[in-house]
Structure 1
């Protein structure tokens, strides 16, 4: 889940400018949008091209084909193919140019999907789900996330859905008289109290970089509102603007005070996770994919019952809301328009919408952007808490690098350690990332 949850870090601006790179597409930028290809031959199978590394989605679809969707599978057999994620984008473009896209396919580059939608190659799923009467089977917050990634359209099914926040050690908080902080100032005060008591406040991976930069993005969303990063992508704001630099400085201050512990730059992801799960740090900024680690008693010596989850706190006077959780959908499942308006395909999509969430949780222990219908095995308290949060949230925000180019993403994450270790100023950090954005690569 980690690989897929950190992979969507391309910007969603300049879509038409990417058309030159999509040379295999039959229609250029500025097409008519989603819709079925008239005259397409009836499909012989319900085909799904899965990223090789993502075993969960194809396992769930295979399970559905044998159980809840068995009749749909008899009418139109499921046919799963795999493609290494490294070549996935290239393969999708090739098949699109040949009008040979499978019914469903993974795609990890939002700009490619947006372009395919503009050229009529992929389906806007919102009208389809409404027609089938199953639009209510998607969590509203997951829909919000998909639309934020895909230029305002529901161009992918959220087979995976993650929200992010701060996991905390309940025992440590109770022992030091701490309650869940609701503002940034309270969070910083709690960190100071823990640090003074000899307890590392936060565990984070400087090698990954993104657990730190996520906090910068969250501060911006709470301070400036949910459009903070889309304004940068749209050219309405720059990362070098004072309020953006201030957010980077707030997180840099945590590092300057030692709140991320010693040698954060040498800490990899697994070490950061272990530090928290063995009680050596009080808090961990992470996504809901960490629930699988928390549920593993071999990794989690603190115990799932002693771990809680809280949202990133509010910023005093800020325009953002504490209930807007940063979220992602892992690898989106996109639907080709080639076989739209086909009864057998529609029946499959309807069955998937009604049953995917339950099967994903029951058979794979993963949380999707679909509702869970029916009974599932009892989960630990923190998993239940996160599931409830997901099911009741009505909107979401993305993350710091979600709309960045690959170069800007790399710059941001590589410079996270110098920022919190004090060898790079907040102004220099934001300038370096903005310059990478300006380069357009």
Structure 2
């Protein structure tokens, strides 16, 4: 009687389970997969968040931010349970304040804006960066980048550039035609154009120096023109001095632009974005800047001179670096070495999306930013981009701040603000720079 009752109970359970959409397997009663709605299939996936730190926070960066938002949305679609938290921080604050503090504490974001060169080497030494070499091999991407040199340490890749850049002179073609001048080939021709613009009541160079880093773009090119690119490495290894005559030559040329009032008046009270505003409104003949300025200059909602923009490499100064252009692939993304399996998979998927032909082409077409990767389809691109890409094929040198110590960079920024305010001469700036460089080199030698 008991056995019949038990058998009947099992039969009843099986029938009820079948009616309820259950299955029996391995001695367990489980929900039948075929009977679940699609929404229920993922309801038990544990959500997780990955922070993506970017620096697209200024008005002129809004087109690039829009692309990054689309990348984040695609990433969430590809990775079940993932929520991407976009965290925007001003570039200098991220690079020189927030990220170094996070790296020291061992808690950087999972994805973050990273500068190549000295920054990358420092964080690799601290073991904070994910080695991307196996991921690039898995995805077959390594050969598709124009250059990974600034993110490579001991043969391993620890960051991926988001774009390439060159620095030089944007100019207003309409103003040049009105002045009866053409693209200058020499330093003296550049001075002649600046003089004519000033006489005509036109600002020769749009310029802003409240953001001190912006001062040193043109200056960096000037002293490399006169002293050669090896001068910067020489400052750090002690084989060259800031006070060397050929370095002083470049600084004196910059000082001449200040004395002649060829740089926009009141520059010490102007933020970097304001030099873009001056140039794209048609008030200035020239603007020395990086190719990333295209995000602002080619924005139809902001620029009045889209069809009149030209670009030329800084003219010859008769020195050791005349055939070079400041260009590099130093701005990119790094990734925390502290990842769980799901975060690692999200990183791989981010790289697949961000460094695809589609996104690199969008970045170039929509915001004018030169790609970090080799593209073959250039249809629909603004003509000035072709000029910039051609310029990037020249021999390049890296920005000085990717090589010298932070203390040296900071001293040059504040000292040049004093030069612009007529409180220091070029000679006094370089004497100070050499003292600080020697102190920084001694500290470097004391490091383990």
Scaled by the length of structure 1, what TM-score is found? 0.71
Gaps of 5+ in 2: 1-45, 58-64, 444-448
Q: Give the superposition deviation at 1:272.
A: 2.4
Are 1:202 and 2:205 counterparts? yes
- Structure 2 counterpart SS, 1:313: coil
Match of 1:428 in 2: 428
Q: Distance in 2 between matches of 1:116 and 1:275?
A: 38
Q: In structure 2, which of residues 377, 384, 387 is the aligned counterpart of residue 385 of structure 1?
A: 387
Q: In structure 2, which of residues 53, 69, 80 is the aligned counterpart of residue 59 of structure 1?
A: 69
Q: In structure 2, which of residues 334, 353, 356 is the aligned counterpart of residue 354 of structure 1?
A: 356
Structure with bigger helix share is 2
Could you give the per-residue CA deviations for residues 140-188 of structure 1, whole angstroms, max 9, x where no partner exists? 3xx34545xx688642111244332111010111122222123323322
- The 1:62/1:214 distance shift into structure 2, 3 A limit, reads same
Q: Distance in 1 between matches of 2:423 and 2:346?
A: 60
Could you give the per-residue CA deviations for residues 344-383 of structure 1, whole angstroms, max 9, x where no partner exists? 966764554334413544677654423446577x343324
- Structure 2 counterpart SS, 1:243: helix
How many residues get paired? 379
Q: Distance in 1 between matches of 2:114 and 2:180?
A: 47
Gaps of 5+ in 1: 1-43
Are 1:90 and 2:92 counterparts? no
Q: Output aligned runs, 1:32-431, within 5 Å.
A: 48-51=50-53, 53-54=55-56, 56=65, 59-65=69-75, 70=78, 73=79, 80=85, 82=87, 85=94, 86-95=97-106, 104-107=111-114, 111=118, 113-118=120-125, 121-125=128-132, 129-130=136-137, 132-140=139-147, 143-146=148-151, 154-301=157-304, 303-322=305-324, 324-327=325-328, 329-334=330-335, 336=337, 349-350=351-352, 352-355=354-357, 356-361=359-364, 366-372=369-375, 378-386=380-388, 388-389=389-390, 393=393, 396-420=396-420, 422-431=422-431
- Structure 2 counterpart SS, 1:283: strand
Q: Give the superposition deviation at 1:384.
A: 4.6
- The 1:318/1:82 distance shift into structure 2, 3 A limit, reads same
Could you give the per-residue CA deviations for residues 275-332 of structure 1, whole angstroms, max 9, x where no partner exists? 222222210111223212212345323x21111111222332424524x333454353
Considering only aligned residues, what root-mean-square deviation do their CA atoms show, in Å? Answer: 3.8
The answer to whether the 8 A contact 2:118-2:402 is kept is no
Which segment drifts farther, 324-333 or 233-242? Answer: 324-333
- Structure 1 counterpart SS, 2:106: helix
The answer to whether the 8 A contact 2:225-2:319 is kept is no
Q: Give the superposition deviation at 1:61.
A: 3.5
Q: Distance in 2 between matches of 1:408 and 1:353?
A: 34
The answer to whether the 8 A contact 1:157-1:334 is kept is no
The answer to whether the 8 A contact 2:116-2:402 is kept is no
Larger radius of gyration: 2
- Structure 2 counterpart SS, 1:274: helix
Higher relative CO (CA 8 A, sep ≥ 6), structure 1 or 2?
1
- The 1:193/1:145 distance shift into structure 2, 3 A limit, reads farther
The answer to whether the 8 A contact 2:170-2:287 is kept is yes
Q: Distance in 2 between matches of 1:119 and 1:413?
A: 27
Q: Distance in 2 between matches of 1:273 and 1:349?
A: 31
Q: Give the superposition deviation at 1:118.
A: 3.6
- Structure 1 counterpart SS, 2:286: strand
